[in-house]
A and B are shown apart, each in its own frame.
Chain A
């Protein structure tokens, strides 16, 4: 009797395991297109269904909640699970209809009326309509949630008013004209009201869809939906069978059955995984690693692409914060030098940017004079040019600013103090450490003793953003869009990324006040040529006053296995997965 029981248990146990395995390997087929569905048409090459794609992520996602996410890994995954109303096409860099099939702008530029697609369903099969849009924007605009998207949705100090006109029409009322307003809809994920309304009313939406959430309790309008998340190992997303895009052959996208995100903490380990064939796509790598992979591309059936300069800009900046912590007397004393524009200009003139692009980026980068990269042809001010490096000019500027040299060549200030400062860099970013070492050597030639201090990235950010305990630092910022608007938080004196002087209540200098005015003015100017003139002036002011000394913008370097179809990487983030719905395996 006992033996029989054991046998039955074993068979049942095996059955459960087999069922679990079957579920894990089950493939969700796309739903057939139904009449009345207003689907978007993809112009990419038609592919074939099936296959799994693997890509490595540098860190694990912190959340799957689009309202609260701030980190890159969460954005990379969640971006594939959700969709927006109007989308920036990463290839053309122009806006295109997404969940909104069309939109109209009133003559005064204050009212945007969006027509939504009919018949669209969330990944759990529930229908999508204007109520979801109104609900989503109410959540993003909720002050208590501190959603990072809120800043974009507040125009002229007033939040955008969102009203439902009918089940498939939504109106957005702006307090003042907003340049390129349709671009702000990009990456604002539409949330499922039917799943999140109750959570929102309970005041718990900030905690919803955390990494411990059950996949079946989440839904989105993106091409994929979450299948499983294994902490420390991987996250897998599977096809959304109700996705609202079709190809030229009327086949519902996406083609891929699944995408697996492997958590691989270092760039070198990611390169090794790609080289060994464990992952299918790779992005965000150094030029040195790119060279290693480029050598192998013929033999290992993958190809590498250098997309040219991206929107990231690396720069050196000094601590100009007016509020310093107690005991930071040495920084305060050095701020007398840092605040002199001639000092900053001399430092800029002494830095050999060509060596930085050649040695650090192996020539796969562009030297910068301002934050706007020459690749951003639409917004670049061509009249702001990079002067050739000149140690003599640098010395002349320093002399004008009251500095002098001791007999041993050491630069001293008017009070006789030797000019020395430390440059913080991220210890995990070999390129930025190398940049700092090159700057150190360049400054030595004009008598300045700079010390390079590599710090763990979080400690570095803590010093720059919280404690202000630093003298100078090398950092980089990246733009998500070529348009100037996402740069508002860097250039406005009250901006959260106004790195050199954070927490200003009012502009510290006349030129910062002018930049504030210009940035606000361009935001509400609708005509592109007029905006361009205003932004040109901002670039000129940045180049003249050097709050940040721009150095170089690295090229975007990516790679993919030859079998990945429709691989069309972009210089805008996300570089390789922006068209995940169109990717297929040949």
Chain B
């Protein structure tokens, strides 16, 4: 494996590992409200106490409301809480502070919920929705693309016209329409599965067309023709000779489709059609920015949106590295 590919893959694995175990990395549950801390800014970490002594263990100060009815908060460093690592309560967490102290490194939302915890839980949902939807789209795309490319004639015509039909669909409206027809009472888990199925079922057409192209040229290769002449079955040829040729395309497509489908989930949740409250998703978190006062008053509410830039960049750079590698794959 070449160096940039390995580097970006490692970055993505690390990011997904953190999100997968978000319950451990997040200091609180995603739905836990602290009603005394609505839109509280990020908690500052201190290393120097009031007496000016430096300590290795960071601590946070208590938070109190400013007494001018502005709704703001200020630190009260007469009460401090040391940051503890590997704390265990009802669940184990990487870090936390003793009650009644609260640590909100990315601030809180309107209901006093910790934004870091909601970001981690929300990102897990959005990222894994993207990954699962990509898997589904690629499986369908692989089957359709290989069948169309390998068998040609009427099978190819029917499948590719169907793919073109799916490509021409205004998918966002289709998703909105399908979601509107479904029952109201869906649990967050059901909504998650529904989103994944919808996004994946609609997105198979593009990879199918690409795979078909690779199969069309791949089936004309000499070793495939020889295999056929020697009596190999279609299934054998597809499995042993054609499938290895499309791996690269599938992987590069996966790296491109994952961010696209994450964005689809975000869009649906942003429009209120994703998982409902109190479950977090990146779309739900960004949805708060539709309100003017949030846009103008609470800068920390932008962090989930900004965090998508490095994440998507990592995916695209990996896709780039994969495509470069493909150019050197000996077939």
Contact = CB atoms under 8 A, between A and B. Distances in A.
Interface string A427-471: 100100110111011000000000111110000000000000010
Interface stretch (A34-42, A175-183, A285-293, A517-525): A285-293
Nearest to A437: B277
B12 interface: no
Interface in B185-203: 185, 187
Main SS of chain B's interface residues? Answer: loop
A441 B33 contact: yes
Most chain B beta-carbon neighbours within 10 Å: one of A288, A427, A433, A452: A288
B276 A288 contact: no
B35 A359 contact: yes
B293 interface: yes
A359 B71 contact: no
Interface in A205-260: none
Given A272-B292, A454-B272, A359 B185 contact: no
B184 A422 contact: yes
Contact of A292 (B33, B35, B290, B297): B297
Interface string A278-296: 0000000010110110000
B305 interface: no
Interface in B78-124: 110-112
B153 interface: no
Interface in B243-286: 272, 276-278
Given A451-B187, A453-B185, A454-B272, A359 B297 contact: no
A286 B98 CA distance: 35
Given A438-B111, A453-B185, A430 B33 contact: no
A330 B110 CA distance: 33
A368 interface: no
Contacts of A454: 272, 276
Contacts of B71: 291, 362
Contact of A291 (B31, B33, B35, B293): B293
B292 A271 contact: yes
Contacts, number: 66
A248 to B, nearest CB: 38
Interface in A405-434: 422, 424, 427, 430, 433-434
A441 B33 CA distance: 8
Contacts of B110: 359, 434
Interface residues of A, number: 33
Main SS of chain A's interface residues? Answer: helix
Nearest to B38: A359
B111 A288 contact: no
Given A427-B272, A434-B110, A451-B185, A288 B293 contact: yes
Contacts of B2: none
A104 interface: no
B293 A289 contact: yes
A288 B70 CA distance: 11
A452 B185 CA distance: 9
B185 A422 contact: yes
Contact of B38 (A268, A358, A436): A358
Interface in A350-388: 352, 355, 358-359, 362-363
Given A288-B293, A291-B71, A359 B112 contact: yes
A288 B185 CA distance: 30
Nearest to A427: B272
Interface in B214-250: none
B296 interface: yes
Contacts of A268: 290-292
B276 A453 contact: yes
Interface in B278-318: 278, 290-294, 296-297
B276 A430 contact: no
Nearest to B36: A358
A233 B294 CA distance: 27
B276 A441 contact: no
13 contacts: A272-B292, A292-B296, A330-B185, A359-B38, A359-B110, A422-B184, A434-B111, A437-B111, A441-B31, A441-B111, A451-B276, A452-B276, A453-B276
Interface of B: 31, 33, 35, 38, 69-71, 110-112, 184-185, 187, 272, 276-278, 290-294, 296-297
